[in-house]
Amino acid sequence: EIVLTQSPGTLSVSPGERATLSCRASESIRRSYLSWYQHKPGQAPRLLIHGTSRATGIPDRFSASGSGTDFTLSISRVEPEDSAVYYCQQYGGSLYSFGPGTKVEIK
């Protein structure tokens, strides 16, 4: 079973700054197997990116990169509405797992 870890646990950023969120897998996975979600309190999680492709309606300030065991979600210019918990998720062997999440706080 592949385990995902995310860092930092909490990231505090000012509007307009860049946010970099990390997701590390316990073993190498294909880039396309890694997806990212945004989750705000009281709402359903929202798919942001699968592989390196943004989901429909996701602004281009969200981007993903990485390979092997290390992956990154970047928010180029953080906006107040980006306050949320961000999860990475992997698919492998017909099983799915999520990382523990990174909480993004806006200063």
Partner 1 sequence: QVQLQESGPGLVKPSETLSLTCTVSGGSIGTYYWSWIRQAPGKGLEWIAHIYKSGTTNYNPALKSRVSMSVDTSKSQFSLNLRSVTAADTGVYYCARIEYSDLSYFFDVWGRGALVTVSS
83 or 97, CB closer to partner 1?
97
15 or 53, CB closer to partner 1?
53
Which residue's structure tokens are 């981007």? 63
1 or 60, CB closer to partner 1?
1
Q: Taking the CB of residue 81, how many other CB atoms lie within 10 A of it?
A: 11
Residues that bind partner 1 (CB under 8 A): 1, 30, 32-35, 37, 39, 43-47, 50-51, 53, 55, 85, 87, 89, 91, 94-101
Per-residue tokens: 91: 């698919």
CA-to-CA dists, residue 64 to 35, 42, 77, 93, angstroms: 9, 25, 14, 23
**Could you tell me the smallest distance in angstroms from the CB atom of residue 29 to partner 1?**
9
The gap from C-alpha 95 to its chain's centroid, in whole angstroms, comes to: 19
**Could you tell me the smallest distance in angstroms from the CB atom of residue 50 to partner 1?**
4
